[in-house]
Amino acid sequence: MLVRGDRTYLVEPGGEQGTDLGVLEVPEDVQPGETIETHLGDEFQVRRLRGPDLFHHFERTGAPMVPRDIGLVIGETGIARGDRVLDTGTGTGVLAASMARAGASVVSYERDPGFADVARENMKLGGVADAVDVRTDDLTEHVGDLEDSSFDVLTLDTGDAPSLVAHAPALLVEGGFVAVYSPFVESTREVVETARDVGLSNVRTRETIQREMQFDDRGSRPSTAPVGHTGYLTIARNV
Amino acid sequence: MLVRGDRTYLVEPGGEQGTDLGVLEVPEDVQPGETIETHLGDEFQVRRLRGPDLFHHFERTGAPMVPRDIGLVIGETGIARGDRVLDTGTGTGVLAASMARAGASVVSYERDPGFADVARENMKLGGVADAVDVRTDDLTEHVGDLEDSSFDVLTLDTGDAPSLVAHAPALLVEGGFVAVYSPFVESTREVVETARDVGLSNVRTRETIQREMQFDDRGSRPSTAPVGHTGYLTIARNV
Amino acid sequence: MLVRGDRTYLVEPGGEQGTDLGVLEVPEDVQPGETIETHLGDEFQVRRLRGPDLFHHFERTGAPMVPRDIGLVIGETGIARGDRVLDTGTGTGVLAASMARAGASVVSYERDPGFADVARENMKLGGVADAVDVRTDDLTEHVGDLEDSSFDVLTLDTGDAPSLVAHAPALLVEGGFVAVYSPFVESTREVVETARDVGLSNVRTRETIQREMQFDDRGSRPSTAPVGHTGYLTIARNV
Amino acid sequence: MLVRGDRTYLVEPGGEQGTDLGVLEVPEDVQPGETIETHLGDEFQVRRLRGPDLFHHFERTGAPMVPRDIGLVIGETGIARGDRVLDTGTGTGVLAASMARAGASVVSYERDPGFADVARENMKLGGVADAVDVRTDDLTEHVGDLEDSSFDVLTLDTGDAPSLVAHAPALLVEGGFVAVYSPFVESTREVVETARDVGLSNVRTRETIQREMQFDDRGSRPSTAPVGHTGYLTIARNV
């Protein structure tokens, strides 16, 4: 990331970025803490990219998952180094990139070819192009081709999540997790019922309500403008 | 992890575990999916450890941070491969271990020598002994000795968090995050005021309310027994 | 109400109450603030009954509506002196009695004859026997017999609420409110769809999450044991 | 209330109201359900005023209390016919008027003479001028002049609520309630500590989070734009 005051750009090493202060050429071996000048001589600081930056700087093909919900998926499934994750739909790719940044290898399905292209670019910007394999395809049609017990975690954020949950026991290693994000009660219920039917354990759905606190001279209180509903998160385990 | 039905044991490779079905000796080169027999001949499955298991299987020296809150810290700070994290107080060590599992190198301070010993054992069980350096010390007394700009993220879960936040601008790289977990409004306010005073940016505090959903034959509804308050999470950035 | 320390009894004027300290005979013209002795000479204070006492002292035939939800119904429909309210199912009768105490005349239907008898006794205890007409019947079967535009407010707390909502435009005066209490999302949705279909206005459903705050020497925070889900409250207006 | 389509006017019987369709003269003996013509011959329907209308039609001198919070005060204190209530500060007067409409006689203090005048006009519009005595004064200075045990309920919505709570045991009858509405944690804490110090019972503070539910073709879910924080409600009883 390149930063100058309020100006921030996400550029991959070796890339080039036009700005209102001139063009920035970023060396392949750029390091955080260095300074790069535009061709007009204005200095930008090189900053290491962090997860929440993905949310703000990835090119969007829809509303990306917010850092809080990415954290909940990572926390509840325990995403870590060495994990093999099957993910769909990719969308903007913030979840896939975040899991890759935490050490996972991710296979991520996105039906829309244009979205998939953007997601692949985003993976390069996020420095995880080698760890995320974005496939332009409908996972529902290919789920039978995937090897049994070849994933540690399955993350689903599509309308057909219920039918995919049915494959979780075959796809996941023993002890693996499936995490499903669904905005509506009805689709969440279908996910839960399928998870129970196919024998997954510890099936639970949580909704998360967050409120920002305000601290000013008058006192402390929850914000009068709270954070809204984003979705229901269902977690189940293959045990 | 070794599993047989409802019996689950967390044992490090090369370790030994007594069970009501006999003693389990775990080879150094044990692999997930294998089967190990007790000396009485009962089989246990070897399962790869996942983050939420830490919460249930680490020896406790206090109430460990729940998976949800660990996820929120990881999501809001973007913990990832290569991060250098300064953490205090270690406690049971679930947060430190989870960040290490996501690829971070963690220096974690714990004042209580007994707690620190347990935490070190827990790091071995969690397979992250090499990535987490548990120091039996009070960070407040040693914070001046630490090198400037040597951490990407600072995670604080102690009563003296406000005084430590004052050191965040010196300790963190540009763009780094501090995350503070505090149970009470008053201490949270002190943290926020200090963060503002020392010039950290994007200072915000969130409280998280979660409710489990119930799906049964009668219909769908939030649980009548919701998940309680755990604490306020304050996030600020060194920009 | 008769009170002695932790002992509290709800007795109607002219009634008699056995206690472990002897029998209390309550005069017809008893006044709050007076003192009554048991036949063994122990003194009880006479206290004026208040709404929240109904919740604790009415004989129960099911879980009565909590004071909070009664308040929400009264606040959102504006129950006041002179209102004519149609209510079903009566149950323990706390809602009917509370509305009557706020000045409404209530016709309340309860299918179960035993429950209806208990509710009638509760109305006497609550001092509103003259203002609440408990009818042992199924409102669904009699809703056609009721006069048009003869109610200001309709309060529904039964499984067949959706079918009754369809009659709200006929039963209510112009400007009147219907309030429906339903525990599940599915039944709530049916209520909302019916309300829209029959042309009611300002149809809205709210769920209420309450948390108790704790203030102690360590600081201030929400209780770790919050108040659970009780139900969805749907309000619509006949305009 | 006079209604014609989206046009609604709140006029007291005997009053006059200018509209874009001509002047409405309202007879002293007007009845709900009647029709009144403007001097230009356009018809308006006469509707009985309901509590939630006060919120929308009273002249405002500040943010009035929302119907939900009025309901919570009424529900938790059991406001009913015959109650004597001491209230401060009056503000727009929606709470005082609502309690009066539920049968209470209210003495309400408002320091600001202009606000008090508006509140008196609002009481006339609300049809409760005889039941609400708006006093232009600071209750803190006059609290010593009030007769002991002369109120059933005390409702406080001012910054000096903590000092007034100290007088609750003297002012309230045995069994009476005090309800305090405070926006900030700090002032709420002061209220709670004072209530405990002076020996009130069942002291509890609740915060209320409400969410509107959305039901559309895609499914059912909480609104992404929830209802914000309005304040902490502390209830205590004089027992």
Q: Do D222 and A230 touch (CB under 8 A)?
A: no
Average pLDDT, chain B: 93
Is B155:B179 a contact under the CB 8 Å cutoff? yes
Q: What percent of chain D has pLDDT over 70?
A: 99
Q: What percent of chain B has pLDDT over 70?
A: 99
Mean local confidence (pLDDT), D44-65: 92
Which tokens in the block code for residue D198? 């002076």
With CA atoms as reference, the chain A residue closest to D226 would be A228
pLDDT of C227 reads 62
Which of the given ranges, A32-41, A43-52, C122-131, C203-212, has the highest pLDDT on average?
Answer: C122-131
CB neighbour class for C149 (10 Å; exposed up to 12, middle 13-18, buried from 19): middle
The Cα of B140 is separated from the nearest Cα of chain C by a number of Å equal to: 21
Chains that touch A (3 or more CB pairs under 8 A): B, D
Mean local confidence (pLDDT), C209-236: 86
Contacts of C72 in chain D (CB under 8 A): 68, 71-72, 75
CB neighbour class for A20 (10 Å; exposed up to 12, middle 13-18, buried from 19): exposed
Is it the case that residue C79 has pLDDT exceeding 90? yes
pLDDT of D200 reads 98
Quote the CA–CA distance of A123 and A125 in Å, as a whole number: 5
Mean local confidence (pLDDT), D11-26: 91
pLDDT of B229 reads 79
Q: Do C184 and B229 touch (CB under 8 A)?
A: no
Contacts of B208 in chain A (CB under 8 A): 208-210
Q: Do C75 and D53 touch (CB under 8 A)?
A: no
Confidence of residue C57 (pLDDT cuts 50, 70, 90): very high
Please tell me which of the candidates B68, B77, B206 has its beta carbon nearest to residue A72.
B68
Please tell me which of the candidates A72, A152, A188 has its beta carbon nearest to residue B213.
A188
Is it the case that residue C114 has pLDDT exceeding 80? yes
Contacts of D216 in chain C (CB under 8 A): none
Please tell me which of the candidates D218, D222, D230 has its beta carbon nearest to residue A229.
D222
Q: Do B209 and C209 touch (CB under 8 A)?
A: yes
Contacts of C187 in chain B (CB under 8 A): 219
The Cα of D117 is separated from the nearest Cα of chain C by a number of Å equal to: 24
Is D155:D76 a contact under the CB 8 Å cutoff? no
Q: Coil, strand, or helix at residue D91?
A: coil
Q: Do B189 and A215 touch (CB under 8 A)?
A: yes
Is D64:D55 a contact under the CB 8 Å cutoff? yes
Contacts of D229 in chain A (CB under 8 A): 211, 221-224, 226
Give per-residue pLDDT as tens, C149-160.
Answer: 999 999 999 999
**Which residues 6+ apart lie within 8 Å of A47 measured at CB?**
A1, A2, A3, A8, A32, B173, B174, B175
Q: Do D175 and C48 touch (CB under 8 A)?
A: yes
Q: Do C225 and B228 touch (CB under 8 A)?
A: yes
Q: Find the chain B residues whose C-beta atoms sit closer than 8 A to any C-beta of C.
A: 183-187, 207, 209, 211, 218-226, 228-230
pLDDT of C44 reads 92
With CA atoms as reference, the chain B residue closest to A190 would be B215
pLDDT of B130 reads 97
Per-residue model confidence as pLDDT tens for chain A (239 residues): 888 888 889 888 899 999 999 999 999 999 998 999 999 999 999 998 999 999 999 999 998 999 999 999 999 999 999 999 999 999 999 999 999 999 999 999 999 999 999 999 999 999 999 999 999 999 999 999 999 999 999 999 999 999 999 999 999 999 999 999 999 999 999 999 999 999 999 999 998 888 889 999 999 998 876 667 789 999 999 99
Q: Do D225 and A228 touch (CB under 8 A)?
A: yes
Give per-residue pLDDT as tens, C12-46.
Answer: 889 999 999 999 999 999 999 899 999 999 999 99
The Cα of D110 is separated from the nearest Cα of chain A by a number of Å equal to: 21
Chains that touch C (3 or more CB pairs under 8 A): B, D
Cis ω on the peptide bond leading into residue B126 (within 30° of 0)? no
pLDDT of B227 reads 62
Mean local confidence (pLDDT), B157-172: 96
Give per-residue pLDDT as tens, D103-151.
Answer: 999 999 999 999 999 999 999 999 999 999 999 999 999 999 999 999 9
Please compute, for residue D209, the number of CA atoms within 13 A of its CA located in the half-sphere on the CB side.
31
Domain C52-237 CATH (choose: 1.20.1740.10, 2.40.170.20, 3.40.50.150, 3.30.70.1020): 3.40.50.150
Strands (E), chain B: 2-4, 7-9, 16-19, 22-25, 35-37, 43-46, 84-88, 105-110, 132-136, 151-156, 172-182, 201-216, 219-222, 232-237
Average pLDDT, chain D: 93
The number of C-beta contacts closer than 8 angstroms across A and D is 58
Q: Do A102 and B102 touch (CB under 8 A)?
A: yes
**Which residues 6+ apart lie within 8 Å of B117 measured at CB?**
none
The number of C-beta contacts closer than 8 angstroms across C and D is 197
Where is pLDDT greater, at C8 or C122?
C122
Is D89:C89 a contact under the CB 8 Å cutoff? no
DSSP C111: S
Confidence of residue B224 (pLDDT cuts 50, 70, 90): confident
Q: Do B222 and C230 touch (CB under 8 A)?
A: no
- Quick one: residue C80, left, alpha or beta (phi over 0 = left, psi -120 to 50 = alpha)? beta
Please tell me which of the candidates D223, D228, D229 has its beta carbon nearest to residue A229.
D223
Say which range, C36-45, C89-98, C125-134, D161-170, has the weakest mean pLDDT. C36-45
Contacts of C79 in chain D (CB under 8 A): 51, 102
Q: Which of B229, B230, B232, B233 should we substitute to test contact with C (largest number of C Cβ atoms within 10 Å)?
A: B229
Q: Could you tell me the residue ranges of all domains in chain A?
A: 2-46, 52-237
The Cα of A229 is separated from the nearest Cα of chain B by a number of Å equal to: 11
Comparing CA positions, the residue from C124, C125, C74, C116 lying closest to residue C95 is: C74
Give per-residue pLDDT as tens, D185-226.
Answer: 999 999 999 999 999 999 999 988 888 899 999 999 988 766
Q: Do A226 and D226 touch (CB under 8 A)?
A: yes
Q: Do D51 and C77 touch (CB under 8 A)?
A: yes
Q: Find the chain A residues whose C-beta atoms sit closer than 8 A to any C-beta of D.
A: 183-187, 207, 209, 211, 218-226, 228-230
pLDDT of A173 reads 95
Largest interatomic CA distance in chain B: 64
Q: What percent of chain D has pLDDT over 90?
A: 81
Q: Which residues sit opposite C180 in a β-bridge?
A: C156, C234
Contacts of C173 in chain D (CB under 8 A): 32-33, 47-48
- Residues, chain C, total? 239
Give per-residue pLDDT as tens, B63-120.
Answer: 899 999 999 999 999 999 999 999 999 999 999 999 999 999 999 999 999 999 999 9
Query: What number of other Cβ atoms are within 10 A of residue C217's Cβ?
Result: 4
Q: Which of D184, D208, D221 should we substitute to test contact with A (largest number of A Cβ atoms within 10 Å)?
A: D221
pTM for the structure as a whole = 0.92
Q: Which helix (H) or strand (E) segment is B102 a member of? A: none
Rounded to 5, what percent of chain A is helix, strand, coil?
Answer: 30, 35, 40
Contacts of D159 in chain A (CB under 8 A): none
Q: Which of D34, D69, D76 should we substitute to test contact with C (largest number of C Cβ atoms within 10 Å)?
A: D76
The number of C-beta contacts closer than 8 angstroms across A and B is 197
